[in-house]
Amino acid sequence: MTNELKGKVNYSTSGNIAILEVDNPPVNPLSSGVRAGLSEYITKANEDDSIEGIILTGAGRSFIAGADISEFGQTPDGPDLHTALKEIEYSKKPVLAAINGTALGGGLETALVCNYRMGTNKAIVGLPEVNLGLLPGAGGTQRLPRLIGPSQALKMMIAGTPLSAKKALQQGVIDAISENSLMDDAIVFLQEKIGSEVHPKVRDKNEKVLEARGDDNVLAEAKALAAKTRRGQFAPGQIIACVEAAINEDDFDIGMKKESEYFLECLMNPQREAMIHIFFGERAASKISDVPKDTPLLPIGSAGIVGSGTMGGGIAMNFANAGIPVLILDQDEKNLERGMGVIEKNYQMMVDRGRMSQEQKDVVMGLITPTLSYEDLSNVDIAVEAVYENLDLKQEIFKTLDTVTNDHAILASNTSGLDIDAIAASTNRPGKVVGTHFFSPANVMRLLEVVRGKDSSDETMATVMSIGKKMGKAAVVSLNAPGFIGNRMLAGYTHQANMLLLEGALPNQIDSALESFGMSMGPFRMLDLVGLDLGWRARKLADMETPLANKISDALCEQDRFGQKTSKGFYNYSEGSRAPNPAPENEAIYKEISDQNNIERREISDQEIIDRCILALVNEGARILEEGVAQRSGDMDIVYINGYGFPIWRGGPMFYANQLGLSEVINKMSNFSELDKNFWEPAPLLKKLADESGAFGEAPAPEDRSELLSFKMANMGGV
Ligand code: 3HC
């Protein structure tokens, strides 16, 4: 094949069968060379009289991972995908897709133009384009409904989650599973078909789409699913419109034409760029710039968790879900029993909701063992401490862990803000100490901040990042600095929300404005959920004067309005419900506190609310970047999307700022400087990049930021 093209297809023969093997490591996307290779070799096999059938497969662990995502937004080289797929679909000789691994997006669409599909029992098939702000644009929206029915196809395309081989077989996406050698089984299967006069084409299977014609429920259910699970996203509506065409158009090619039009609209939509930024951003975040790629990983065959509370239980579930046996320790027998009960209940809920089978539950429960004794942790490869935020207690636990565990074991703390170096100092193995800040509920939330202490070794960091990946987490490295990344940014955001409340906006207006921007939950609903009393009690304990921004929430606490836990906070809650109802009785308190502090309440626009809260994130993010606490701006986007409910389709706060233009960010901030000059002082990096018409990217090299690295660790407190 021509060399400038990316990826290739290998051609070989086995008797009367041609074997086309897609070879574009590591996951075989349909890059230019693959498209060209498919066209060339389908033609070659068709022109060779000795060939009677064709097998299409992938080299390595993937069949085909879809279109080459890096090509979107560029002008691609080589033939287009539609041309290559048309040649497969109209091959004179039958084509069988031998699915050796993941067949995603364009990969599954390639398999759908083949006459037959066989997978290994580890194969995975799916159309996850929606996660990239796209729709399956190579015929997937027209062929999958024909194969498995529009209703199932819509669910699969809107959720974007792939199917296992077993489920794919049950639903009819594949025709057979190979339990032994895929290639041997594929050859036997195809030989049996070679004599047939006709070989099925998915495009001709109209029965299931015709059944759905006139049934309004199919599309209505899909719309409801999209509204519930993909609020604010553009692509799901486009997918539904494509399937509507598959159902209602008699001519398959008209459906295909509509799919192309709607695909183009997705491609041009800014959401696509934002979501692809997150796809690559998540992969970039998993790499640590100064830790070599080939750093050996410490083998992790077992884990121990100290603390069986909500966090400890959730973390134990993560290990079990990743197939790693885990001991969960608590020194209080009742707590331990309760903790195990919660874990069991969480898994049961997954079984009840069809997210896990009873057998799978039995397997993961079998991997979790409760214990009351530290001695039982002696052989674990990693121990994660998950007790409440108290440095003395954590240091005590680390001292014990250091004594009881093998020398090679990694010791991790789930602290959300304490100094990892101070914790490491209580052990004789600071190189093996690291922070693993899971977010609550730890078994659900994808974010994992991996906190790098000054002595955390490369092996420790690389190993913990790889466990994070095994757990399916979005793992991001933070230096050991106050608030790490996420909570440090959050502080400015909630400060602005509280100030807006003092200046005249009501909680409901602030929450609604930010939720319509796309945040999954507004700040006051979030504060009610977490509990207003936490900060109030901490301030009382420290005998600290209430800062202006917290005066309203402290006044609510004085009236026992702690949030959801007392059924009243910024909102009122009916018994057993988490739905917030306005609390007009609070308005007198808001007014009184504004008056006491000489703040004139005024009408505030939704735009001002959004700008102040979101740009507070951006400005703090710029400081975090210039200090090197985060490695790159994209890491902060990953943090905010996976841990704080920032809308993925906006690409995260730093990407949002880049889209807005950094000069515009500064302009907007300067409008607020008369409210609080200090707060709205642009971070030096933000100013510098705005002057250079630049954008946020990588953190500056350490030598360029040495002066900024004077953390006041002594002032760190739990956030
Ligand atoms: N295009 C380009 N690069 C891709 C890619 C793709 N489709 N899929 C993965 N890669 C790259 C990753 O960026 C990564 O690069 P890096 O090593 O430089 O960071 C490398 O391949 C390995 O990827 P992962 O780290 O994600 O490997 P895993 O083994 O963990 O996961 C996977 C493999 C499940 C295939 C996962 O990569 C994945 O989900 N890929 C995306 C699948 C997808 O969304 N396909 C649809 C594409 S859009 C499409 O097909 C449009 C069509 O309808 C027209």
Which atom, in ligand 1's list, is nearest to the CA of 69? Answer: 1
pLDDT at 632 over 90: yes
CA distance 65 to 58: 10
CA distance 465 to 469: 6
Banded model confidence at residue 91, pLDDT cuts 50, 70, 90: very high
| Angle in degrees, CA 12, 108, 71, rounded to 5 | 90
- Verify whether residue 129 is a known catalytic residue: yes
Could you give all domains of the chain from N- to C-terminal order, each with its CATH number? 8-268 (3.90.226.10), 303-481 (3.40.50.720), 505-596 (1.10.1040.50)
**Beta strands of 414-470 (E only): which ranges?**
433-438, 447-452
Lowest mean pLDDT among 202-206, 524-528, 566-570, 704-708: 704-708
pLDDT at 229 over 60: yes
pLDDT at 70 over 60: yes
- Taking the centre of ligand 1 as the mean of its atom positions, its distance from the CA of residue 27, in whole angstroms, is 7
Closest C-alpha to ligand 1, atom 18 = 283
Among left, alpha and beta (phi > 0; psi -120 to 50; other), residue 28 is: left
Per residue in 478-505, pLDDT (tens digit) is 999 999 999 999 999 999 999 999 999 9
Probe ligand 1: pick from 27, 28, 265, 632, max atoms within 8 Å of CB?
27
The arithmetic mean of pLDDT across residues 245-262, rounded, is 98
Whole-model pTM?
Answer: 0.94
Per residue in 103-128, pLDDT (tens digit) is 999 999 999 999 999 999 999 999 99
CB atoms within 10 A of CB 360: 14
pLDDT at 708 over 90: no
Q: What's the pLDDT score for residue 719?
A: 30
Handedness of CA 158, 159, 160, 166 (dihedral sign): negative
SS3 content of the chain, % helix, strand, coil (to 5): 50, 15, 35
For the chain, percent of residues with pLDDT exceeding 90: 92
List Cβ neighbours of 629 (8 Å cut-off, separation of 6 or more). Answer: 478, 479, 481, 484, 485, 488
- Taking the centre of ligand 1 as the mean of its atom positions, its distance from the CA of residue 125, in whole angstroms, is 13
- Verify whether residue 698 is a known catalytic residue: no
Q: Which residues line ligand 1 (CB under 6 A)?
A: 26-27, 29, 62, 65-70, 102, 104-106, 109, 128-129, 132, 134, 136-138, 140, 280, 283
Q: What's the pLDDT score for residue 699?
A: 80
CA nearest neighbour of 309 among 184, 204, 440, 129: 440
Which atom, in ligand 1's list, is nearest to the CA of 62? Answer: 35
Banded model confidence at residue 713, pLDDT cuts 50, 70, 90: very low
Enter the tokens of residue 190: 């195809």
Q: Is residue 384 within 8 Å of residue 433, measured between CB atoms?
A: no
